[in-house]
């Protein structure tokens, strides 16, 4: 059983020289927040143009509060950026925050991780603690320690895109996985000033806990999406059902909203990796495999719902039909399109011949998705459309002039795949409204 201690360390103001490898969502957020906590942080990344931009305070990702923290760190001299691992030679602690996407066999692709280890080998000072924040398979942290000849600690991140700064500075928990007491203490002190429970666990437990947490969230979303289908067929309302469920403290209200499926940079890859790990260990993780299958089924169900809404038949043809899409990012509050369920739905609609126009307030600066015309005016989404499909839960979609959009549409029909909109208001504006689980 892990040890749990208070995360509040009153009066502990000792600052470390911290290195961060990787300037993505996790690495850049960690670097900026640790500098904010008073540490002297050097963040390195192999992408030289990104490094140059960061040196000028140009943050390449959309994350509330992050540009301000980067500017603060640069201004006060506690945050710097580089592209060479040698810049970390005097670090007391080095955080590895490199991507670990899904490999062709379903396991985590550790190519970037291993290249980082190669770059750090022989560079770091004796006694430096190496902290693995990348999501990695069980055993990877101990292997990193052996390769580098240094104490290694699994310290998984639990950051939500769109809330990463808040989550770092107000964590639900801090997990420190290592058998090395001195390294554990150093990582514990790294977070001095944050009020959160600290769990000191075995290394393998910390590594597995990250996969387990994300896979459980995926399972919860798949559950509610299947439940929404049952509600539609039985005359129940998913909003009323989940409101009842959410008041049970054992269940809670989070992740009980139906949608087009789960996606993003973490849940799909971590779920696949956990299934792979279970298979290698000879464990039948059928409940998680079923959650993945249910997620694929949800994509099919949404496409069928759109087909029914705009053609009047589940088997109707979408060929040549103009459809407007509201939202492409995998969730509101981010510009991230990685494994977005909205893009999966869009690809399937396009494969059936639909002509797609999309508006997303967060994706306007990203590369245009294939088969989708990305526009900067929601009116262009509605113009001459046979239907509008809401795929991402951006709150500003509630404030659109829906009466005007109804006038622009060829057929004023909305398929609300997030149950974001008020059905009565949409009906009053002239739309035929379709939600999930209603």
Phi–psi pair at 385, nearest 5 degrees: -85, 140
97 carries an active-site annotation: no
DSSP for 331-398, written as a single string: STT----TT-HHHHHHHHHHHTT-EEEEE-TTSTTSPPPTTEEE-S-HHHHHTT-SEEEE-S--GGGG
| DSSP secondary structure code for residue 160 in this structure | P
Nearest to 297 by CA among 356, 365, 228: 228
**What distance lies between CA 212 and its chain's CA centroid?**
15
Q: Which two tokens stand for residue 250?
A: 């054992």
Q: What crossing angle do the helices spanning 203-234 and 238-246 adopt, rounded to 10°?
A: 140
Residue 415 near residue 325, CB atoms below 8 Å: no
Helices (H), 121-202: 140-148, 164-169, 181-190
Q: What beta strand segments (E) does 91-213 contain?
A: 93-96, 129-132, 152-154, 174-177, 198-201
Residue 273 near residue 108, CB atoms below 8 Å: yes
Question: Given the DSSP bridges, would you call strands 79-82 and 152-154 parallel, antiparallel or unpaired?
Answer: unpaired
Cα–Cα dist 207/369, whole Å: 34
What is the enclosing helix (H) or strand (E) of 413?
strand 413-416
Residue 359 near residue 326, CB atoms below 8 Å: yes
| DSSP secondary structure code for residue 102 in this structure | B
What is the enclosing helix (H) or strand (E) of 27?
helix 25-36
Q: In what order do the strands lie in the sheet with 3-5?
A: 3-5, 198-201, 174-177, 152-154, 129-132, 93-96, 17-21, 40-44, 79-82
Phi–psi pair at 13, nearest 5 degrees: -120, 15
Q: Which two tokens stand for residue 69?
A: 């923290």
Q: Which of 33, 128, 231, 266 is catalytic?
A: 266
Phi–psi pair at 308, nearest 5 degrees: -65, -40
Helix (H, G, I), strand (E, B) or coil at 126: coil
Active site residues: 266
């Amino acid at each position: 059983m892990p040890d749990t201690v208070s995360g509040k360390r009153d009066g502990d103001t000792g600052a470390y020289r911290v290195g961060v490898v990787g300037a993505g969502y996790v690495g850049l957020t960690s670097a900026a927040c640790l500098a904010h906590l008073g540490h002297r942080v050097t963040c390195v990344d192999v992408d030289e143009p990104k490094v140059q931009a960061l040196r000028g305070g140009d943050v390449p990702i959309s994350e509330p509060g992050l540009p301000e923290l980067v500017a603060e760190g640069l201004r006060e001299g506690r945050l710097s950026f580089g592209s060479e691992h040698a810049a970390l030679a005097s670090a007391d602690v080095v955080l590895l925050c490199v991507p670990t996407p899904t490999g062709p066999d379903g396991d985590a692709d550790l190519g970037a991780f291993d290249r980082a280890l190669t770059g750090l080998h022989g560079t770091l000072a004796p006694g430096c603690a190496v902290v693995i924040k990348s999501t990695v398979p069980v055993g990877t942290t101990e292997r990193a320690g052996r390769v580098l000849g240094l104490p290694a600690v699994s310290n998984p991140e639990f950051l939500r895109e769109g809330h990463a700064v808040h989550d770092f500075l107000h964590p639900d928990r801090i997990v420190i996985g290592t058998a090395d007491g001195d390294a554990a203490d150093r990582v514990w002190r790294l977070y001095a000033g944050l009020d959160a429970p600290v769990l000191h666990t075995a290394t393998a437990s910390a590594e597995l806990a990250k996969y387990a947490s994300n896979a459980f969230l995926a399972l919860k979303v798949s559950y509610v999406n299947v439940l929404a289908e049952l509600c539609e067929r039985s005359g129940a309302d998913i909003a009323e059902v989940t409101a009842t469920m959410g008041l049970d403290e054992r269940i809670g209200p989070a992740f009980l909203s139906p949608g087009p499926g789960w996606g993003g940079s973490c849940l799909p890859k971590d779920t696949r990796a956990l299934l792979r790990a279970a298979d290698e260990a000879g464990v039948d993780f059928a409940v998680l495999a079923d959650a993945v299958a249910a997620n694929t089924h949800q994509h099919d169900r949404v496409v069928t719902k759109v087909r029914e809404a705009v053609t009047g038949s589940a088997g109707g043809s979408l060929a040549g039909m103009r459809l407007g899409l509201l939202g492409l990012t995998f969730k509101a509050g981010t510009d991230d399109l990685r494994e977005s369920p909205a893009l999966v739905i869009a690809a399937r609609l396009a494969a059936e011949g639909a002509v797609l126009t999309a508006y997303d307030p967060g994706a306007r600066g990203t590369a245009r998705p294939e088969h989708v015309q990305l526009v900067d005016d929601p009116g262009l989404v509605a113009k001459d459309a046979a239907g509008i499909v809401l795929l991402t839960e951006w709150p500003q979609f509630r404030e659109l002039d829906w009466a005007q959009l109804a006038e622009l549409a060829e057929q004023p029909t909305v398929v609300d795949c997030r149950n974001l909109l008020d059905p009565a208001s949409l009906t009053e504006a002239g739309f035929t409204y379709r939600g999930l689980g209603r």
